[in-house]
A = this chain, B = another copy of it.
């Protein structure tokens, strides 16, 4: 495992993106979003993913120069077209626009069609809380989990982000609607470990904690069984209807793979009155959730807590990256 200086890592990625056709300012932001993911402990959607991202640009699947455009407005709700551009830049622009709308109307929403994988969804939650707003966003995906009770993959694991600002550490939930993301399953499989709880079905249709059996059957489990598959369906409907973009079944029909996905970005003013008073409330809620330390000092983690801890570690010791990943990036 290498440890990279933040600025150096970002500079390498920026240069690679410029070589791939990104304008300088766009290369800079896109590089930061990839590096931020690894800095916060999500390498599966950070540096580990960068080589395939560049490949998708060279293959013409992602257009590095396409910028999103607004195609309709109802006031606090807008529809944007991502025009097949880079997912992280499109998502960042649309959360930014939702934040502007929330400044004006208290709540603002942007539905984005025709975009690409946003990589680490949590980035756009952090973007909202760093601006002082509540952020909600989700993406649809290719069909990759079976609805509860069936063996055919007919819903996406549509990642959902819910972020709430707090000076002492925002709560940033960033979760796929499958019990384990595909990145997490792959990590357990590579380490030869069992999952801590059942994550899908084996070929015989039995619940299993063996990640390799789940890859073999192609049947990962939605969170909460029928509840997660129902939520995934509802989020796909909203994303596709409001954006006018593709739904999961259309994304899955594309032989080129997952592209032209639909996303929703919502920003909300976190309340009225003095920010200090809100901090007191948020701190009380989080402190109660964490509870009294169990023997050994164990606390339940709030969403975003481990990201903050990894960020502090990365800032002190450098951003961790697998040596082979870094070599692949340098060789791009």
A-to-B contact residues, CB < 8 Å = 72-79, 102, 104-109, 134, 143, 147-150, 152, 154-155, 162-164, 171, 173, 175, 179, 197, 207, 223-231, 233-238, 240-242, 244, 247-249, 266, 268-273, 278, 281-282, 284-286, 288-289, 291-292, 294, 298, 300-303
- CB of A162 within 8 A of CB of B289, answer no
Chain B residues lying within 8 Å of A226, measured Cβ to Cβ, are: 301
Chain B residues lying within 8 Å of A223, measured Cβ to Cβ, are: 223-224, 227-228
Bound CA–CA A197/B147 (angstroms): 16
Decide yes or no: A74 and B242 within 8 Å by CB, A173-B231, A227-B175 being known contacts.
no
Bound CA–CA A269/B150 (angstroms): 32
Known interface pairs A134-B242, A175-B230; 20 further A-B residue pairs with C-beta atoms within 8 A, sorted by A's residue number? A74-B272, A75-B104, A79-B272, A149-B300, A150-B300, A152-B291, A171-B233, A179-B224, A197-B207, A223-B228, A224-B224, A224-B228, A230-B303, A233-B285, A233-B302, A237-B286, A238-B270, A241-B270, A248-B288, A249-B284
The A contact surface, by secondary structure, is: mixed
Most B C-beta atoms less than 10 A away, residue of A78, A108, A230: A230
Bound CA–CA A104/B171 (angstroms): 31
Bound CA–CA A321/B300 (angstroms): 42
Chain B residues lying within 8 Å of A147, measured Cβ to Cβ, are: 289, 291, 300
Chain B residues lying within 8 Å of A235, measured Cβ to Cβ, are: 162
Please tell me how many copies of the chain the complex holds: 2
Smallest beta-carbon distance A196→chain B, Å: 8
- CB of B76 within 8 A of CB of A107, answer yes
- Contact check: which of B102, B197, B238, B281 meets A241 at CB < 8 Å? B281
Bound CA–CA A226/B147 (angstroms): 21
Bound CA–CA A97/B265 (angstroms): 22
Decide yes or no: A233 and B271 within 8 Å by CB, A74-B105, A225-B197, A247-B284 being known contacts.
no
- CB of A107 within 8 A of CB of B104, answer no
Bound CA–CA A249/B281 (angstroms): 11
- CB of A234 within 8 A of CB of B164, answer yes
Decide yes or no: A105 and B77 within 8 Å by CB, A237-B285, A291-B150 being known contacts.
yes
Chain B residues lying within 8 Å of A298, measured Cβ to Cβ, are: 149
